[in-house]
Amino acid sequence: MTDLTAMRYEILLAAALVMLLISGSIKNRGRNRYWLPLSLLTIITAIGFMPLPDKILFGGMFLSAPITAVLKIIITCLTLVILIQSASWLKKGADRNVSDLFSALLLLSLLGCYFMISSGHFLIFYLGLELSTLPLAGMAALGGDTFRRTGSGFRILLHGMLASALMMFGFSLIYGACGTLYFSELIRIHMGSTVQVLGFFFFLAGMAYKISIVPFHFMRSEIIEDSQISAASFILVISTGTAILMLNVLIYNLFPSIPEIWQKTLFIMAVVTVTVSNLAALWQKSLMRFLAWTSMAQAGYIIIGIIGRSQAGMAAVIFFYITFAFSTLAVTGSAAIIREQTGRSRIEDLKGLYKSNPLIGLVMTVAFLSLAGIPPLAGFFGKLLVFTAVAEKGFFFLLLTIAPNLLISLYAYLTVIRTIFTTGEEKPQVSYFRSDPATRIGLIICAGGTILSGFAGFLLEFIKNFSYGV
């Protein structure tokens, strides 16, 4: 009988999901059981840190290696933070009936991410991708302004379908040219024929949709703006993040024979993405839209690390992702509580935020500075590692094209920070409010991570040691 201990994460998460659904069906409608998903996910996270055997299951379809365990731990911890930050929204208001549904969809999407990470075959990868994307549409459409939220859900579906179609076509071409979709066999095949390269491009286009790399980025900002903020956080950090991490792993391992092709392609995509997103961010009026564009720019920086095509580059990408995730969650957490307490969500509503709510103002400032890459915050070290990885390969032209972008993005972030710190006679738009303990814990974790992870040299060594197992 197959030893399924290597599928511990997936089995536990599926069990948690079933428990959640059963509990949802037997409980009294309207009574909130927010603690159930939270405690289930906490247990899974805690168990996740226990050692896991290296295994190949189902004839190579499912892989369990040190790196897959590390990636799963990272995204599970971040999902836990998102769930903690959603507490306030889930516990009260008109949305209380959707609490269980939201949590179940969140766990379902996370399960999809797990399968993507552990896939050893493009089919499992595809199924994981679908499983992680489809629940997002439901999550985004829950609660609040029904028309806009539903629109956002439909957009996610449409976006997901386009990504799937392109990727499926790519897989077909790769299968046609190589005769297999098993990663273990693809690694040994020397790619280079037109069909194989075409297959790679379609695969890349599908992933680009998922990550929202220019020119596959359309509807992204609308999706993030109109979705429920917890769902938007999940899309920005977990869904996009898993896709980036997997692109990093797959492109490095499966397409080593066509490095020049994907390096050049990613080079152009990264520069265009970073430039377009940073310029677009300058004109945004809505905070979540601003965040959508700037996180696309951050994705562009992460792609630069992939171009480095080295062990150091891979570790740098994962480290950058962690720093990005903490900073982004700090902003989305703050935006969520501000929207919930005051109903405001425009950038200009943050005027005088530091005066009325100094702690939230500070958390947002720290997060934005980290995203801008200002030392000694974590974002700086993330960028430094990525840039060092590409500099070692001699891509100085790329760095020189990125330097003005750092300035543009800094200007965009500083404009928002300036708004937060604006003083003056007029009353701050957001008046003082007391946030609930869960939100505070969530924000403290994110701000702490943003400040401290740059000092955690051991974290990088830890990731680097594990990325050898890919």
Partner 1 sequence: MSILILFILIPLLSIIPILSAGDAEKAKKAAVTGSVVVTAFTVVIAVIFFVSGSPAGYSEYKFIGDITWFRSLNMHFITGADYLTVLMLLAASASALAGIMIPVRDRERTKEFYVAWMTMTAGINGFIVSLDLVMIYLFYMIALFPLFFLYIVRVEEKEKLLTVSHFAVLMGGAFILLVGILGMYTNSVPDGNELTFNILHIKDYLMPAAAQRVFAPMVIAGFGILGALFPFSILFPAGTFTAPAPVAALFYGVTMKLGAYGALKLVIGLMPDGAGTLSNLILILSAAGAVYGAIGAFMARDMNKRSAHASVSFSCVLFFMLFLRNETVTNTAFILMIIHAVAVPLILLYSEKTGKAV
Pick 218 or 421: Cβ nearer partner 1: 421
Among 161, 391, 451, 470, binds partner 1 (CB under 8 A): 391
For the CB of residue 279, give the shortest distance to partner 1 in the complex, in Å: 15
Q: Decide: residue 189, CB within 10 A, 0-12 exposed, 13-18 middle, 19+ buried.
A: middle
Q: Are 32 and 96 in contact (CB under 8 A)?
A: yes
Which residues touch 462 (CB under 8 Å, ≥6 apart)?
Answer: 70
Residues 445-464 within binding reach of partner 1 (CB under 8 A): 455, 457, 460-461, 464
Size of the residue set binding partner 1 (CB under 8 A)? 35
Minimum separation from the CB atom of position 365 to partner 1 (A): 9
CB of 397 vs partner 1, minimal distance in Å: 10
Separation of alpha carbons 98 and 78, rounded Å: 22
Binding of partner 1 by 348 (CB under 8 A): no
Tell me the C-alpha distance between 329 and 323, whole Å. 10
* Binds partner 1 (CB under 8 A): choice among 23, 42, 45, 388: 388
Alpha carbon of 455 to those of 81, 171, 449: distances in Å?
21, 41, 10
Cα of 256 vs its chain's centroid, Å: 25
Q: Is residue 301 close enough to count as binding partner 1 by CB under 8 A?
A: no
Smallest distance, Å, CB 387 to partner 1? 6
Stretch that binds partner 1, among 123-131, 185-193, 372-380, 426-434 (CB under 8 A): 372-380
32 in contact with partner 1 (CB under 8 A): no
| 385 near partner 1 (CB under 8 A) | yes
The correct pick among 26, 30, 400, 425 for binding partner 1 (CB under 8 A) is: 400
Q: Which of 114, 171, 262, 381 binds partner 1 (CB under 8 A)?
A: 381
Give SS3 for 39.
helix
Stretch that binds partner 1, among 117-125, 260-268, 289-297, 381-389 (CB under 8 A): 381-389
Nearer to partner 1, 384 or 470 (CB): 384
- Applying CB under 8 A, does 91 fall inside the site for partner 1? no
Do residues 232 and 288 lie in contact, with contact meaning Cβ atoms separated by under 8 Å?
yes
Residue 68 phi, psi dihedral angles, 5° rounding: -65, -40
C-alpha 32/C-alpha 28 separation (Å) is: 9
With CB under 8 A as the contact rule, the residue among 396, 432, 433, 468 that binds partner 1 is 396
Residue 404 CB, nearest distance to partner 1 (Å)? Answer: 7
Q: Is 374 in the site for partner 1 (CB under 8 A)?
A: yes
Closest separation in Å from C-beta 411 to partner 1: 6
Kindly state the smallest distance separating residue 196's Cβ from partner 1, in Å: 33
179, 404, 437, 448: which one binds partner 1 (CB under 8 A)? 404
Residue 360 or residue 406: which is nearer to partner 1 going by CB? 406
310 binds partner 1 per the rule CB under 8 A: no
**Of 7, 74, 55, 28, which is closest to residue 319 (Cα–Cα)?**
74
Buried b (16+ CB within 10 A) or exposed e, 357-380: beebbbbbbbbbbbbbbbeebbbb
Q: Identify which of residues 343 and 457 has a Cβ nearer to partner 1 in the complex.
A: 457
Work out how close the CB of 275 gets to partner 1 at its nearest, in angstroms, rounded to a whole number: 14
Kindly state whether residue 392 participates in binding partner 1, applying the rule CB under 8 A: yes
End-to-end CA distance of the chain: 26
Decide: 278 and 290 in contact? Cβ < 8 Å: no
Contact in structure between 144 and 228 (CB atoms under 8 Å): yes
Candidate segments 162-170, 411-419, 430-438, 442-450, binder of partner 1 by CB under 8 A: 411-419
Considering only residues 416 to 445 of the shown chain, the ones binding partner 1 according to CB under 8 A are: 417-418, 421-423
If the CB atoms of residues 261 and 456 are measured against partner 1, the closer one turns out to be: 456
- Preceding amide of 215 cis, omega within 30: yes
The amino acid that residue 379 corresponds to is G
CB of 307 vs partner 1, minimal distance in Å: 14
Write the DSSP string, 427-464: PPSS---PPPHHHHHHHHHHHHHHHHGGG-HHHHHHHH
For the record, the structure tokens of 228 come out as 């429920």
Nearer to partner 1, 5 or 423 (CB): 423
Q: Which of 375, 427, 431, 448 binds partner 1 (CB under 8 A)?
A: 375
Residue pair 389/395 in contact by the 8 Å Cβ criterion? no
343: left (phi over 0), alpha (psi -120 to 50) or beta: left
Which stretches of the chain bind partner 1, using CB under 8 A?
312, 315, 369, 374-376, 380-381, 384-385, 387-388, 391-392, 394, 396, 399-400, 403-404, 406-407, 410-411, 414, 417-418, 421-423, 455, 457, 460-461, 464
